[in-house]
Amino acid sequence: MTVADTNNFFQKQEGNGPGSAVEPTASEISQGFTTITKNPDPLPKLFQPKTIRGLTLKNHMVLSPMCMYSATDGFATNFHLAHIGQYAIRGVGMIMMEDTGVLPEGRVTPTCLGLWKDEQIGKLSEIVNLAHANNAAIGIQLTHGGRKSSTATMWLRRKEGILVDSEKGGWPDKVVGPSAVPYADDWWHPKELTVEEIHHIQQSFADSAVRAEKAGFDVIELHAAHGYLFHQFLSPISNKRTDKYGGPLDNRARMLVETVRRIRKVWSQEKPLFVRISVTDWVAPSDEDPTGGWKEEDSIELAKLLAKEEVDLIDCSANGLSPKQIIPPLVPGFQVPFAAAIKKNVPDILTAAVGYITEAKQANDILEEGKADLIYLGRVMLRNPNFVLDAAAQLGVFPQYPHQYEKGRNKTQITLY
């Protein structure tokens, strides 16, 4: 990971960076910074390094991509620098930046990030450099919202409604999908994409991947989940096409597979490529839609296709395609079985588990039991940005702290400066 201009406003951390396991020194032990004299051998898997292609993560914890709705015309802002920076400083192995539109009309909201023009690279490079200075890997999630585009910033929806019209900066006349089927009757009614328009969007993903490379990102993740454009092509609920992009699973997956091929041509072979999917639509079969939409067995077949296309990891989420979804009770780790199922059935591809993973032991057990290869942490990180360093203490690991925060370690005795 390359760092540019590190003396601008931060100092590069030594060793493997905050959040990596280090052996406590005699001085640290005598000062009461730890009650252990040596780290466990072997280390808990959560704190072991993980290598994917040419990238080595210092631990197995990833900040899940979460929309912050704080961009201006797609440009990252100082909020993003502060937001991402706190996780780099506090030891996350990899940060996945939020979904980023490859076209202005591909954003979900007017305040989402974008990477459709070169001018947007600069601020993102600054964020990447801050992550790398702390030896945190950093990825970016590329997306097109399809029929769920031109919607309101999340915290404005109660006051202003879900949809954003042209007078408020939206683009309802440019909302598209695989078919002219809206998410719901009171949402924007999308225009069905032509084959030429599909190819234009695919190339826009590749062009954004080139910009991501220039910005210095370590990983690209394609967002094919939560009801956005790739997911809309995958699910028979939203894809009613009769051409080569509709019908059988291989055809419905074609939009995504062809995009992966374009990206792999321009994205470094040393750098990983991830895909986030909704493993299931969680929609029950009905007279209106007897298929029940996209299901776990479909995701397993998709994973096989993507493994052949040099995708390295499937980030296993769920739902978001239909308002008729029936989400089961939110018990701890409720989506982990999806990652385990794909890992079991498609050994040639890695998986990430996500969804109500809130405790260090829980996260480590998922890895130790072979249910997933990485742990994505979302809302729990918003509540506790110090999750990684706290997890180390809970698992009996002595972690490297950011140099500037060393004084903040828990101590068993009081010592002066």
Catalytically active residues are: 228
What span, in angstroms and rounded, lies between the C-alpha atoms of 75 and 278?
Answer: 27
- For residue 79, give the nearest of 104, 59, 98, 62 by alpha carbon: 98
Distances from the Cα of 392 to the Cαs of 45, 323, 325, in angstroms? 11, 40, 37
For residues 107-129, one letter each, b for 16 or more C-beta atoms within 10 angstroms of the residue's C-beta and e for the rest, the string is bbbbbbbbbbeeebbebbbbbbb
Where are the alpha helices (H) located in 31-102, listed in sequence order?
A: 78-89
What span, in angstroms and rounded, lies between the C-alpha atoms of 246 and 263?
Answer: 22
For residues 33-48, one letter each, b for 16 or more C-beta atoms within 10 angstroms of the residue's C-beta and e for the rest, the string is bbeeeebeeebbbbbb
What span, in angstroms and rounded, lies between the C-alpha atoms of 248 and 253?
Answer: 9
Residue 36 corresponds to which tokens in the numbers above? 């252990």
Tokens 């989402």 locate to 112
What span, in angstroms and rounded, lies between the C-alpha atoms of 392 and 20?
Answer: 9
